[in-house]
Amino acid sequence: MSSLIICSNNSVPYQGYNTANDDKHIEEFIPEDIYVTTLARRLVEICIDLTVCFLLALLGTITNILTIIVFAKQKFKDSVAVSMTAISIWDLVKCSGFALQRLSGPVSLWDQAKAESWANISMVVFTYYTCFATYVSIVLAAYVAVERSLCVSIPFKIKWLITRKSSFIICVVISFVVFGWFSVMFCVFDIAWVYSNHYNRTIAIYVNSEFFYHYKQPVFLFYNLSGIILPVVCFVIIVISTCVVIYHLRKSSRFRAGSAQSHKSESQSRKSKLC
């Protein structure tokens, strides 16, 4: 958010511990120009966040749409295609959220007040939205890694064990459980509309909600632990599954090499007998 002081003739209630009945003016944090000036910070934000990241998010949105179209044209031949499509869908959700969050850059070209409101609203909505979509993609990637390792280790049993239908059900369950697991964080902030002297009009800002002050410690402890443990567990699962795949591929490679060598020696012995 840009540097400004927000005040209102009708003060916005700022509810916290022992302040439920007190009305306070909401003031914007204004950083001091110590190491980086406000102008330099704004230029970096425009160049990197609002331009480069916005273009990368658009590129990711387009490529994921193309990936989903390719899998759809192939009619989802196996369970792996279904799970990979699920990952592409959540990556599409994530990239579109990133792009929408950075629409404040183009909007600021014709209305800076609306851009400020959109930046504040998207900060509440899309920051956690894209983060939770990333967690879903991580868990789905771990599931795909396990699925591939089973396809390599027990290829005949896994075909009837994990079908396209069962893979679809597993992906849907993972999506709902993981996204719902973190969705409590959407209750941490509230959107308030206040008058800004800087823009001479009403804009949207985000403030900590009453839920935040009541359940701050357990909610953030839960969120931080889940955000650390879940990716680590998924990473370990992916590494173990990859090691299993490598082991079975090397084992089958040695078997094929031994079979080829024995076949070659048998053919040479037959030729020597004929001679």
d(CA 80, CA 84): 6
Task: Please compute the mean of the pLDDT values over residues 207-220 and round it to a whole number.
Answer: 89
pLDDT, tens digit, 9 for 90 and up, residues 114-133 = 888 888 888 888 888 888 99
Task: Please compute the mean of the pLDDT values over residues 29-35 and round it to a whole number.
Answer: 64
SS3 190: strand
Residues in contact with 258: Cβ distance below 8 Å, sequence separation at least 6, in sequence order: none
pLDDT band at residue 19 using 50, 70 and 90 as cut-offs: very low
Residue range 38-274, CATH number: 1.20.1070.10
SS3 167: helix
Q: Is 70 exceeded by the pLDDT of residue 259?
A: no
Structure tokens at 254: 């040695």
Q: Is 90 exceeded by the pLDDT of residue 143?
A: yes
Residue-range domain boundaries for the chain = 38-274
Q: Is 80 exceeded by the pLDDT of residue 40?
A: no
pLDDT at 254: 64
pLDDT at 11: 36
Structure tokens at 134: 């990333």
pLDDT at 105: 77
**Which of these ranges, 10-24, 25-39, 69-83, 98-112, has the smallest mean pLDDT?**
10-24
